[in-house]
Structure 1
Amino acid sequence: MTATQTLPSLHDRTFKMVSSTTSAVNAEAPSTFRYFEQDGVIWGDYTGDTVTIGKFVGTRTGDTIWVSFVHVLADTGEVITGNGESDIEVDDEGMLRLVEHYEMFGAPQLSVCVESPAS
């Protein structure tokens, strides 16, 4: 992708987590994220793996999104809140990938989510 190309909207796209420094990702039932976007505003929800339910809201500028999130851990019921920044990338097949940088449990974390093809 060249510098003059615009990355596509995240609106109505689904992503699955493939790696995370916070916890082991269950490849058979990873966390799944649904994204919506309008006029630079991002919002959505997620569930699966270690999360019972999660919500996020934020903004997008170019190929970077900033979100605040809250979710409930499946094993303890603990409510986790935080903020994160994600870089939007495009793979060789044209699918989107999110590289997420956030802080959890007092330490910087990194996770990667890949777009799930529309069904």
Structure 2
Amino acid sequence: MARSLDGLVLAPVADQAPGQVGTRTRFTYHEKDGEIWAEYAGGDVVRGHLVGTRAGDRLDFRYVQLKHDGTTSSGHCVSTVVDLPDGRVRLAERWEWESQPGSGTSVVEQVTVQDS
């Protein structure tokens, strides 16, 4: 199993569509006994939360977020945890909105102190 995500900060490697998570968004992950959760903010997102489970290198979670325009949205994501050669962690994600149309893929990677 890949290492724990507890306490790690991750960020998208590319911007998604306008009004969504982007490279300025930071996710702070927590993990305990197969449970996974995170808080996130940045870019168009004022505040977001995700909660779910981890089995091996697979995360399965729901997310909700509040954007600067006052709208909220929610969805489902399945991610695969990948250990990078430089020791950082990457999540390869497949997501879909449940509160609006849309789905896609994204990649988030652990940020280092100089990246944040």
TM-score, normalization: structure 2? 0.86
- Bigger relative contact order (CA 8 A; separation at least 6): 1
Task: Give the % identical residues.
Answer: 29
**What are the ranges of 5 or more consecutive residues in structure 2 without an aligned counterpart?**
none
Please tell me the root mean square deviation across aligned C-alpha atoms, in Å: 1.9
Q: CA deviation at 1:94?
A: 1.4
Q: Who is 1:97 aligned against?
A: 90
Measure the CA separation in 1 of the matches of 2:113 and 2:51. 22
Task: Please say if residues 10 and 26 of structure 2, whose CA atoms lie closer than 8 Å, have aligned partners that are also in contact.
Answer: yes
Q: Which residue, out of 92, 114, 117, partners 2:109?
A: 114
Q: CA deviation at 1:22?
A: 3.5
TM-score, normalization: structure 1? 0.84
Task: Please say if residues 52 and 72 of structure 1, whose CA atoms lie closer than 8 Å, have aligned partners that are also in contact.
Answer: yes
Q: CA deviation at 1:107?
A: 2.4
Q: Which amino acid aligns with 1:34?
A: T
**What are the ranges of 5 or more consecutive residues in structure 1 without an aligned counterpart?**
1-5
Q: Which amino acid aligns with 1:117?
A: T
Q: Work out whether 1:34 is the aligned partner of 2:28.
A: yes
Q: How many residues align?
A: 111
